[in-house]
Amino acid sequence: MSEQAPNFPDSTSDRLASDTLLVRNYLASVPVKNITGESEQQQYRRDIAALLKEKKAVLVAHYYTDPELQSLAEETGGLVADSLEMARFGRDCEGDMLVVAGVRFMGETACILSPNKTVLMPDLEATCSLDIACPIEKFSAFCDQHPDRTVVVYANTSAAVKARADWVVTSSIALEIVEHLKARGEKILWAPDKHLGRYIQDKTGADMLLWDSACIVHEEFKAKGLLDMKAIYPNAKVLAHPESPSSVLEIADVVGSTSQLIKAACELPEDTFIVATDQGIFYKMQQLAPEKTFIVAPTAGNDASCRSCASCPWMGMNSLQAMYQSLRDGSNRITVEPALAKKAMIPLQRMLDFAAQHRMQVKGKA
């Protein structure tokens, strides 16, 4: 059985369009490019490294951030990973402060798992289209309309949405958890990414009611462009994240989370890959498989005519300069109200316990 949640165009889509415009204007005017020379760039790196040491802070960066931030995280003893692994690493590492290079829900997840640590972000305006498109008021009302369904939400959601859920999942464990729930006879309400939800539904046959939203990066990958690219590189393997449309996933040789795609890039014998996910992931792929070639999958447009061009605009709001200023001033602190964090931890812990019981490593795009 397949149902789809109603679309809420008036406020949610308007807010998404407004926030996307905000990001475009921000990137046009804000000083991500103020670091004009290599010497200035290196100075920021040295200053950030010194501040991390001085403040007993750890830098964790998402796979989709700028390569400069990813390499800095590794060089200073931090981590480059998906959002949940970033948060778990931050929870388990020594230090009083976490600096999260990513988007807002990642900072919130770090707060939930590390309530006694200070969590900073380079820019508090960095958010996520999936988070924006699933506001807690409308989502909670929708859940109330379907009390017979188990609520499963993707990690790319706000702390408030997580607190309303029964389960939180990442892309690498979602299939197993949904199969588990189906075996128990449970019907599922899934949010927020409809493409990932449909992929899981097709794989498991579960009864899933899907919230209607999508990632602005992955939704722009198109089957026709991918087939055209395959004609140019007939021996290339296609790697795709399951947030992509089903027509793209049907062409893909490997469908998986960020960590699964990186693993495939390293282990498959082919030397050329067309990659349908945010191109920030190329830093880690090229680091681990330097002898291989990685090509960005084509999107619906290019330059000004597409919304993302395989690069999340909110991830782009993270910069060395913004990180330095946040660390220097102690600004851009992320907080989650303790009562809300306690509620959100319940479905997060449920996933972690499931993973431990099944000896799985919980990684994903989120």
- Is the pLDDT higher at 334 or at 15? 334
Give the pLDDT band of residue 300 (cuts 50, 70, 90): confident
Q: How many CB atoms are closer than 10 A to CB 83?
A: 29
- Is the pLDDT higher at 70 or at 10? 70
Which DSSP helix (H) or strand (E) runs through 2? strand 2-4
Q: Taking residues 258-284, what's their average pLDDT? A: 97
Q: Which tokens is 83 given?
A: 């959002």
pLDDT of 17 higher than 80: no
* Phi and psi at residue 166, to the nearest 5°: -90, -35
Over the Cα atoms of the chain, what is R_g? 20
* Mean of pLDDT over the chain: 89
| Tens digits of residue pLDDT in 311-346 | 999 999 999 999 999 999 999 999 999 999 999 999
Using left for φ > 0, alpha for ψ between -120 and 50, and beta otherwise, residue 238 falls in beta
Helices then strands, counting H and E runs in the chain, come out as 16, 14
Between CA 355 and CA 132 the distance in angstroms is: 28
Which pLDDT score, from 0 to 100, does residue 33 have?
42
Percentage of the chain lying above the pLDDT 90 cut: 78
Between CA 98 and CA 85 the distance in angstroms is: 13
Q: Taking residues 249-264, what's their average pLDDT? A: 96
Between CA 66 and CA 279 the distance in angstroms is: 10
| Tens digits of residue pLDDT in 79-125 | 999 877 888 899 999 989 999 999 999 999 999 999 999 999 999 99
Burial grade of 302 (CB within 10 A; 0-12, 13-18, 19 or more): exposed
